[in-house]
Amino acid sequence: MNVQELKHPGLKKWVEEAVALMSPDTVEVCDGSKAEYDRMIKITVDAGLATPLNPEKLPGSVLFRSDPSDVARVENRTYIASQREEDAGPTNNWINPAELKKIMTDLYKGSMKGRTMYVIPFSMGPVGSDIAKIGVEITDSSYVVANMHIMTRVGTKVLDVLGSNGAYVPCFHSVGKPLGPGEKDAGLWPCAPLDKKYISHFPETREIWSYGSGYGGNALLGKKCLALRIASVLARDEGWLAEHMLILKITNPEGDVKYITGAFPSACGKTNLAMLIPTLPGWKVETVGDDIAWMKFGKDGRLYAINPEAGFFGVAPGTNNESNLNAMESCKKNSIFTNCGLTEDGDVWWELIGHGAPGKEILDWKGNKRPAPKTDKSPKGEEIAHPNARFTAPARQCPCIAKEWEDPAGVPISAFLFGGRRPKTIPLVNQARSWIHGVFMGSIVGSEVTAAVISDQVGQVRRDPFAMLPFCGYHMGDYFKHWIKLGQSHDESKLPKIFFVNWFRKNDEGKFIWPGYGENSRVLAWIFDRCSGKGKAQETPIGFLPTLDAITPPQGVSQGDMQELLKVDIEGWKAEIADVRKNHYPKFGDKLPKELYAELDAIEKRLNA
């Protein structure tokens, strides 16, 4: 389809203005077909940017190597350009929107010379769902088009739903590397220098402008940019939730089903939990989503969630058959790998994949020949795969994908889980006493800071409220208020129950007490039962904890270990509350809801009783 065939006058005008600004050689409107995806892959292979992988090992898959300056989200170049600085809040980077648009418009001038402009109509969520939203990304990267094919629903069917006057989120993206006459990329990943990279969000006008990066969440603008930063603003204004949460379907031995969402900061086992293989006999866990949940209230007063994505953009290092078999199975074909190692037999390899590399040599993520490692470990700083190496895989290929994952109505949510990586203080599992107590728990989520990270926070805890700190499109004090308001304006008995989990408790020798992975199903079973009005629990100053006989311990976990995992560390919690009061809550100034300070006071009082 060409631009003239677009039936939406506003969209057509916007694309024509972009063409005039960015000066591409040609323009294509993406139709979402397999032929189009295959053509994008061929373009990247022919340009020397992608390497086809061994068709017997990873059929239909390719490997990309990005520029060393373009390997991850660039948070210090990510902006929330609200009209007023105070609306962006203290945890976001702010630039005046008029000033930022002028800077970026100058960068966009002629930025696509020598390239094709692709217009990608995409749906976040099942096409036509009442919970879904439509975006249109303009890009000059065939890598982005191919990834968006996997990560979203792309093409003509989206334009059909958009019609002639539907709402969409306009997204500009350019790698910022125009080509002169006859110039080619010649196998070099195109991007701009770091100081020219901008990932900008304009909350009031619902726009996303990205320049200079071709990688991940900087370039796949449906992912964090639309699905969280802009959607969180839409959700606030429209009365729903856009959250950095996995979605699980859990079936107990009697055949009862519940859906649970969970928010975890990075390195806290979120993807592993999303694709968990339970060790408890008779229990079944399936995946609805591994990263993002959009939730709206149904006519029955319950929250219904969709996974707005259609694929997984997973971190490869650390993923193996033991830690996440379902993720490994998901990316066995039709997948895009970025910044992984390449073995002599045309397979991918990364640290902690579970085995050494075959043959004598391996190409690292920069394309350098290295001796093939005989184990799956490498010295820090000498990794074969970049620590943020990725796989992009269609969700439909996941062996444990739930049949409801594309249900446009969404699935009814029974529980929210919050979790962090904490060696002490926080118990294995803890149920909130009320909705407001649960919001308080979400607001103080944090993970331990290792000795390698310099931190001025007391207790060495880096807090990431609701696991949304890098992704909330407005002031987090107002975000907490939004959660509180939803609880106050709906029947609490129909709202999801809220739990805090911590798989990462350590003993005095520094060893993990709880084995995690599939054994986490034992905790999920207790949460499931609590949502059914069952499950043994005791009331404590910090919430409801399982009784010692409520969770059957896995092999190797003693009764003494369970006591340690399920005890209330009064002194530890007093220190926790003091840290929140002194170092965390003051960041949000007078926008921190008074209800959270009241909750803080109430917990402190209970701990001192």
β-sheet bridge partners, residue 362: 343, 370
Secondary structure class of 85 (helix, strand, coil): helix
How far apart CA 187 and CA 502 sit, in angstroms, is 45
Contacts of 253 (CB under 8 A, 6+ apart): 281, 282, 283
Catalytic residue among 30, 171, 191, 268: 268
How far apart CA 219 and CA 145 sit, in angstroms, is 10
**Residue count (the chain):** 609
Kind of pairing between the strands at 133-139 and 361-363 = unpaired
Number of C-beta neighbours around residue 355 at 10 A: 12
Q: What are phi and psi of 13, to 5 degrees?
A: -65, -45
Number of C-beta neighbours around residue 465 at 10 A: 24
How far apart CA 316 and CA 331 sit, in angstroms, is 10
How far apart CA 202 and CA 200 sit, in angstroms, is 7
Report, in angstroms and rounded to the nearest whole number, the Rg of the chain calculated over CA atoms.
24
How far apart CA 229 and CA 34 sit, in angstroms, is 30
How far apart CA 261 and CA 87 sit, in angstroms, is 28
- Quote the tokens at residue 99: 């000033």
Longest CA span, the chain: 77
268 a catalytic residue: yes
Contacts of 114 (CB under 8 A, 6+ apart): 25, 178, 179, 180, 181, 183
- Quote the tokens at residue 486: 């939803």
Contact assessment for residue 277 and residue 285, using Cβ atoms and an 8 Å cutoff: yes
Q: At what angle do helices 476-488 and 594-608 cross, to 10 degrees?
A: 80
How far apart CA 401 and CA 275 sit, in angstroms, is 8
- Quote the tokens at residue 18: 């972009």
Contacts of 313 (CB under 8 A, 6+ apart): 147, 151, 216, 217, 220, 223, 291, 390, 391, 392
Contact assessment for residue 51 and residue 341, using Cβ atoms and an 8 Å cutoff: no
How far apart CA 218 and CA 236 sit, in angstroms, is 23
- Quote the tokens at residue 230: 């802009």
Closest by CA position to 234, among listed 209, 201, 261, 206: 206
- Quote the tokens at residue 225: 């940019």
β-sheet bridge partners, residue 210: 173, 199
Cα dihedral across residues 333, 336, 337, 343: positive or negative = positive
- Specify the DSSP class assigned to residue 450: P
- Quote the tokens at residue 605: 């009082």
**On the CB side of 481, how many CA atoms lie within 13 Å of its CA?**
14
Q: At what angle do helices 231-238 and 476-488 cross, to 10 degrees?
A: 40
Side chain identity, residue 471: F
Residues recognised as catalytic: 268
